[in-house]
Structure 1
C-alpha cells in the first residue's frame, strides 16, 4: 500500500437513542443506565467528543485505499433539537478539531450533527479540513433503493403515488425534484407550511406529475404506493395502520420515523432503512462497536466520506442548505460505480429481506387487497 496516496477521514457520529448511547459508552454504559435522565443529559453536555472505532484497510475496486475513525459527539437527537444551536455547534466543532488532530483530511457530519449551522456550513467555516454532511450520497441511495424496491414489488413507477415526508429538507427536496419526473403523483409534507407551498409551486413548474401538499403526515401517506421519510423529527411519525397493503416504505430518518415493529405487524408492506450502502470491502468492526452499525452495510453519510476519500476529492461537498444539485447526484452515482459501492440489501430493525421474503410480502398484499380473510386460510 502506497502510504503517500492513502487517504484518511473521520466520521462524526452521535447516539440515536438511549440504548444506542449505552452501547457507545462501552464500560460506562451500565453506569449511565443508573443515572436520572436530567443528570445524564447534563453530563453528556460536558462530555467531550471521543474516538470510538477505526476503519482500516478500505480498498475500492480501483485499488485506491483509505482509512478512518468514528468520533462520537455525545449528544442525543432531542438535545440537538432543543439545546441552543451555538452550544451544539461548539461541540461539533470540537469533534472536527479532534478529527484534524488525528490526521483526517475530511470530516463527515453524521445524523443530527449535520443539521446545525445552516446544514454544516458554519462548521465548515471553522475547519481547516474538508467537511461534508454525506447528504448527496444518502439521497442517491434513497433513490436507488426505491427504484430497486419498485422492481422487486412489480410496481410501475410511472403510475405510482409517492409521499415524501420532510420534502423541503436537503435530501427530501432533491428526491422530490427527481421523482417528480418519474411518478404519477407526489404527496409532500413538512413542518413549515409556507416553505412547503412555495416548494410545491416550484415542483409543479419543473416536474411532470401532480403535486399535492398535506399538513399532516397521516393524510399524505394514506394513498401512497411509496413513502419516503427524510425528516429530523425525534419521534415516530407513521404508524402501521396508516399504510395501505403493498406499500414500499423507505425510512432514511435517524432516529427512525417509522416504528420498527411494523415488520412484525404488517407482513403486506416492504419497509426498509434507506440511505444504506454496500461497500466492495468488509467493514472490519469488532465488539460492541459492531452493534452500532447496520449489518453488512454502512450509513450513506459515512459512505459519502469514504467515497470522497477514495476519490481524493477533499472539498466541502454536501454543505449548506439547498446545495444538493442533480449534477452532484449524477457525480456521486458515477463515483459509486467507479469504486464498486452499491445500495444495501433491504433491511429493517434486525431483519434483512431475502427475495423470498419480498415474494411473500407481494402475495400477502394481493390477498389483503382482495379482502381474503387470513384466519380462514
Structure 2
C-alpha cells in the first residue's frame, strides 16, 4: 500500500475542503485551532498500471497550511504526526508532498525519529525528489525543441542548482542531455563550486546575470514574493520550467515569447477515482499529480519499499534511470506545453 501526505494550498482552501468532508468543527476554527488539528486519512484509492498490476493507496492530509510556515514547532509537528499516522496505518511507502518534504529537509526532522510512542521507520518514506528531477529533465528535453530551442547549443539556467532536485537536474542535463552550457544559480558560493567540480563544468552566475542569457530556465528554488523579473531582458523564445512550490512563476512572467510550464507534474494514462488533486489546482485533477506523489505509486508498483529519495544530494543518474523507466512503464507521462498556450505566448 502506498501513501501520500499533502496539504491544502491555503488556509481558506483548507477550510472549504474540511467543510466538504464534514469536519465542521475544524472548518469553523481559526488558524490556532488548525494548528492543533491532527492529520486525517481522508481518501483511499485503487490504481491499475497498464502492466496489469493493481495497487491500493491512501491520502493523508497533514492539516498543515502555508500560513503555518512561520510557526516552526507547529510545522515540524504537523509533518511528523502525518508520518506517524501513515506508519500506524501500515502503509509501505509514503511520499511527502508540497511543503511537507521541504519542512522535513529544512527543519532537519531526521533528528526527531520518535513521535510519542512510535519510532518512525525511515524506509517507509520518500521525498519523491528523484522522480521530480527526472520529470523536470524530460520536460526540458520534450518542450525546448518545440520552441525551436536546440539544447545542444542552448544555455540552461538552473535556479536552486545546489538543492536536492536542482543538483540532480544539473547532473542529468550535463551528462545525459548534453546541453550547450549550464548556468548555475544558488545562494551559497561554496556548494556551487562543489557542484561545478562534480559535473565538470557550468558557469556560476547571479540570478540577474543568468536570466538574460538563458534559453531555458529551470526554477527549483523558493521564489520570493517580492521578486521582480524584467521580462524585456529575457531571450525570446524562452522556456521556463516552474519546478518550485508553490508554482507561481506564471504570475511573474508570461507571454511575449516567454513560455512557462509547471514543472514536476505527471499525467496518468486514465482517470483515477480520487478528489485529492482538486485541492492542488491541477488542470486535470483525475489524471494529473505531483511527480513526488507518483514516486510512491511507482515504488509500490515495483514492490520497492525503501526511502528511494532521501537526504540531500543523494540522487544518482542510475536512480533517475530506474524511476524514469518505471514511470513510462506504468502509464505516466510528463506535463507538456499546450499548443494553444504556446501560440498565445508567442
TM-score, normalised to structure 2's length?
0.85
> What CA distance in whole angstroms lies between the structure 2 residues aligned with 1:360 and 1:101?
49
1:184 aligns to 2:180 (yes or no): yes
Deviations 1:268-317 (A, max 9, x none): 2211101011112312234x862434123111011111111111111111
> What CA distance in whole angstroms lies between the structure 2 residues aligned with 1:75 and 1:246?
38
Contact 1:164 1:188 in 2 (8 A): yes
Distance 1:124 1:311, change over 3 A: farther
- Structure 2 portions without partners, runs of 5+: none
- What is aligned with 1:76? 65
1:229 aligns to 2:219 (yes or no): yes
Note the aligned Cα RMSD (angstroms).
2.9
- Structure 1 portions without partners, runs of 5+: 1-7, 347-352, 365-377
Which of 153, 159, 166 is the matching residue for 2:153? 159
Distance 1:166 1:261, change over 3 A: closer
1:48 aligns to 2:38 (yes or no): yes
Contact 1:64 1:310 in 2 (8 A): yes
| Partner secondary structure for residue 64 of structure 2 | coil
Higher alpha-carbon deviation: 229-238 or 21-30: 21-30
Shift of 1:33: 9.8
Higher alpha-carbon deviation: 299-308 or 289-298: 289-298
Number of equivalenced pairs? 332
> What CA distance in whole angstroms lies between the structure 2 residues aligned with 1:78 and 1:198?
34
Matches within 5 A, 1:111-130: 111-118=98-105, 121-122=110-111, 126-128=119-121, 130=124
Shift of 1:23: 4.1
Shift of 1:145: 0.7
| Partner secondary structure for residue 140 of structure 1 | helix
> What CA distance in whole angstroms lies between the structure 2 residues aligned with 1:73 and 1:238?
32
- What is aligned with 1:314? 305
TM-score, normalised to structure 1's length?
0.78
1:294 aligns to 2:278 (yes or no): no
Deviations 1:225-258 (A, max 9, x none): 0011111346364636253321001001111251
Shift of 1:222: 1.6
Matches within 5 A, 1:120-159: 121-122=110-111, 126-128=119-121, 130-159=124-153
Shift of 1:19: 4.7
- What is aligned with 2:7? 14
| Partner secondary structure for residue 158 of structure 2 | strand
